[in-house]
Structure 1
Amino acid sequence: MLNEFKKFALKGNVLDLAVGVVIGGAFGKIVTSLVNDIIMPLLGLLVGGVNFTTLQYVYSREGEEPVVLKYGQFIQTTFDFIIIAFSIFIFIKAINSFKKKEEETKPAEPPTPSKEEILLAEIRDILKQKETENYKS
């Protein structure tokens, strides 16, 4: 069972996934900082300093605990999601354009001939050789 676990844990896909999770976590922190520290303060300036998180509706009856609907927090979370999704979209688009440029700079390798193509080339060469011999005699 230990050997099976080693094989599973050391497979390339599992290691790639682990690296992806770590990088994704770090990238998530960068995007969160972008949203909280740069975009939201600028947006706050544009909308006059409105903080959505304070918007709420309180419903209460006498003698009961009040129910608080924090719809402002929902609006803020939705807005954060849109900004994060857009940031990831821009990041992926930049990476893809970089990869595309990298692929364009690589020369295309000629495809390796199949066994049939090699055999046909040999037959062609033999026929040319015989034709040349017949022409000389």
Structure 2
Amino acid sequence: MKGFLNEFKEFISKGSVVDLAVGVIVGGVFKDLTSSLVTNLINPLIGIFLGQVDLSSIVWKIGDANFKIGAFINSIIEFLIIMFVIFLIVKAINKMRSIGKKNEEEEQANVKTTDDYLIEIRDLLKENQK
């Protein structure tokens, strides 16, 4: 039992698990924030043009079935906002990675190899012999 607890402790203390937990929590909060943005700001703005303030109240009734079209539209708007933000985050991360790669490549290009030093020594010896 002690080995199992140690193994679990090691697993839970790994950075990737902690990062995942933070990501899930931040994602949940971001979802709430996005829902609030859509419900409290975007829907009234769209409602001004449609003449209806609350999009979630748009319902099609066929018999006893209620098709909540407005709630679905809200979900689509939330999805698009979240995906746009994720796109911007991934784009920024990729840009930072490419900047890091360029810096690393420049450093590697500036590093002299043994061959470079030997060529310099040869050229200096030739100059001194003249």
Report the TM-score, using the length of structure 1 for normalisation.
Answer: 0.66
CA deviation vs aligned residue, 1:92-125 (integer Å, no higher than 9, x gap):
455567668878999x53223699x511112112
CA deviation vs aligned residue, 1:22-55 (integer Å, no higher than 9, x gap):
11111111110011112222333322227314x3
Task: Choose the corresponding residue for 1:126, options 118, 121, 126.
Answer: 121
Q: Does 1:86 align with 2:80?
A: yes
CA distance in 1, matches of 2:94, 2:12: 32
The AA in structure 2 aligned to 1:39 is I
Counterpart secondary structure, 2:113:
helix
Q: Does 1:11 align with 2:14?
A: yes
Change (3 A) 1:4 1:114: farther
Task: Could you tell me which runs of 5 or more consecutive residues in structure 2 were left unpaired when the two chains were aligned.
Answer: none
Q: Does 1:38 align with 2:41?
A: yes
Give the equivalent residue in structure 1 for 2:58.
52
The AA in structure 2 aligned to 1:44 is G
Task: Could you tell me which runs of 5 or more consecutive residues in structure 1 were left unpaired when the two chains were aligned.
Answer: 59-67
Change (3 A) 1:123 1:104: closer
- Pairing of 1:93-108 with structure 2 (within 5 A): 95=89
Q: CA deviation at 1:129?
A: 2.9
Equivalent residue pairs, number: 121
Determine which structure has more spread, i.e. the larger CA radius of gyration.
1
Report the TM-score, using the length of structure 2 for normalisation.
Answer: 0.69
Give the equivalent residue in structure 1 for 2:108.
112
Q: Which moved more, 1:26-35 or 1:4-13?
A: 4-13
CA distance in 2, matches of 1:86, 1:2: 42
Q: Does 1:76 align with 2:81?
A: no
CA distance in 2, matches of 1:105, 1:4: 38
Change (3 A) 1:3 1:100: closer
- Larger relative helix fraction: 2
Q: CA-atom RMSD, angstroms? A: 3.4
